[in-house]
Amino acid sequence: MPMLTETKDEVEVKSFTMQENSTNSPFNKSEGYRAILKNKDFLSLWLGQVFSQLADRIIFVVFVAVIASSFGVSTTLQSYLYIAFTIPAILLTAIAGVFIDRWDKKYTLIATNILRAILIALLPVFSNTLFGIYVLAFLVSSVTQFFVPAEASTIPALVKKYQLLAANSLFTTTMMGSLIFGFILGDPLINIFGLNSVHWGISGLFIISAIFLSLMKHKRIEVESVSRKTFKDFLNELKQGFIYIKNNPIVLQAMLKLATLFSIIVMLSILTISISQEKLYPDNPALGAQKFAYIIAFSGVGMVIGSFIVGKFLRNIGKYLLIFAGFTLIGINLILLSAVGLIPNQFHIIIPGYDFAQVHLAPFLLTYRMIFTYVVAAFIGLGASFIAIPVQTILHSSVAEDMRGKVFGVQFTMLSTSSTLPVLFAAFGADMIGVTNMLVIIGVPLIFLGLYGLTRKKIVNYLKTAT
């Protein structure tokens, strides 16, 4: 029993550490990646995920480039694209889960990939108008909402129970990797195929994913109580999740911190387009709209590095200490990013182009300003990992097991919904007062939030009692 003088942070750290060190913990029973990848069916599912998620990330880069080259470089236009991708996540994710429990998951995965391949192949038809691009984004995202839950719910049917930790860890790692490489590959893929033909490359990735998934042998698991779930049942579960969160202050605060982080990330995703257009490629804004993905990719690199640092070296640090340090770090680097225009835009490294047969890669000019931007973006990603990992740990350790599905369903719905207004705020702000001022407006409150949290009494007490 903890002493009365212990803070909530200390109790949480001890509880989670005991859980990880327990002999009954799945952390000690799980197998490594090599063991689960020997499972050919799981390997087929994982390879299907790799190509599908790479295609998903590249789609956004290509759509941004198409809008910039045909309809202008307004940040507001790009924000509407993000919203078109987000609305299906708000409206369909939970509903899709109800249907997924009734359908054969293997054929659902294959069908959703083929449907997305067909939709992307029709990009030239939809791209004649701005509204058409938004409609296509909405349709592609709608199909994706059925792919994601089908993929996640297939994993337990392919691996043994004690392998689930390793399997889910691999899928999470792949998702982070696709965030990085998917955005990075968007630009060279456009260079190889050309903006008017790149959709064939994306469709090809979805077809490759479907081929790997077709090799998977999957036995359908019938769960009677789930397969007969109705939409009314889902609404009841969602309501229970909201009530549970409302009545648990620790869970509620963790959710709010996660929503704040998610809002920052989506605003930055939109602002990076303006940064790339106005600061990195001022002479060719349309090209800047194509190259913005490198900023996102480096922030993803920072998140991966941060995840390693937290897991390897900072596991015994108070979670609230990490969270508020993360907000402070993000705020400081947003202010630094606002000063990118002061960095000389001289060429530092010239990466030569490449020509082979029909493949042409243009030379890549790396400037001091680009290097500064990418490094700062990586530190922002680092700060994001300092927030996301502890918050998710608090949620996993604080939410009752029989309520996790309901609570995390609310979490996903809340994050998707809360991203809409911040995106519009960032876009309209960038167009009206400039991206530099917007970075300051977002960064300064985050610094104050972080410093406020770091100077709170329970954080100070934790630092004094930490060994």
- Whether the pLDDT of residue 372 is over 50: the answer is yes
- Whether the pLDDT of residue 150 is over 80: the answer is no
The predicted pLDDT at position 1 comes to 33
The residue extents of the domains of the chain are 32-229, 240-467
Structure tokens at 378: 């990586």
The predicted pLDDT at position 13 comes to 40
Residue 126, Cβ density class (10 Å: 0-12 exposed, 13-18 middle, ≥19 buried): buried
* 3-state class (DSSP) for residue 143: helix
Chain segment 125-135, per-residue pLDDT in tens: 998 899 999 99
- 345's CB contacts (< 8 A; 6+ apart) are 280, 282, 367, 368, 369
Exposure string of 433-466, with b = 16+ CB inside 10 Å and e = fewer, is eebbebbbebbeebbebbeebbeeebbebbeeee
Long-range contacts of 226-233 (CB under 8 A, 24+ apart): 226/101, 227/101, 227/102, 229/98, 229/101, 230/98, 231/95, 231/98
Q: Angle at CA 372, nearest 5°, toward 367 and 376?
A: 150
* 3-state class (DSSP) for residue 400: coil
Q: How confident is the model at residue 3 (pLDDT cuts 50, 70, 90)?
A: very low
Tokens 């530099």 correspond to: 436
For residue 363, what is the DSSP state?
A: -
- Closest by CA to 163, choosing from 47, 26, 23, 19, is 26
- Whether the pLDDT of residue 433 is over 50: the answer is yes
Alpha-carbon dihedral angle through residues 275, 281, 287, 290, given to the nearest 10 degrees: -30
Chain segment 374-423, per-residue pLDDT in tens: 999 999 999 998 988 888 778 767 777 666 656 766 776 677 677 777 88
The predicted pLDDT at position 222 comes to 46
Q: Which residues share a beta bridge with 347? A: 367
| Helix (H), strand (E) at residue 187 | helix 164-193
The predicted pLDDT at position 126 comes to 93
How far, in Å, are 65, 78, 262, 287 from residue 292 at the CA level? Answer: 9, 12, 19, 9
State the pairing for strand pair 364-367/347-351.
antiparallel
Tokens 């804004």 correspond to: 285
Cα–Cα distance measured from residue 55 to residue 42, given in angstroms and rounded to the nearest whole number:
20
CATH code of domain 240-467: 1.20.1250.20
Q: Which residues share a beta bridge with 361? A: 354
Q: Cβ distance 68 to 285 under 8 Å?
A: yes
Q: How confident is the model at residue 241 (pLDDT cuts 50, 70, 90)?
A: confident
Same fold, 32-229 and 240-467: yes
Q: How confident is the model at residue 7 (pLDDT cuts 50, 70, 90)?
A: very low
Percent of the chain with pLDDT over 70: 73
Chain segment 101-122, per-residue pLDDT in tens: 677 888 888 999 999 999 999 9
- pTM (predicted TM-score): 0.71
The predicted pLDDT at position 443 comes to 95
Chain segment 153-210, per-residue pLDDT in tens: 677 777 777 766 667 666 666 776 676 677 778 877 887 888 888 899 999 999 999 9
The predicted pLDDT at position 447 comes to 95
> 22 or 447: which carries more pLDDT confidence?
447
Structure tokens at 258: 């996660």
The predicted pLDDT at position 238 comes to 67
Q: Which CATH superfamily does the domain covering 32-229 fall into?
A: MFS general substrate transporter like domains (1.20.1250.20)
- Whether the pLDDT of residue 29 is over 50: the answer is no
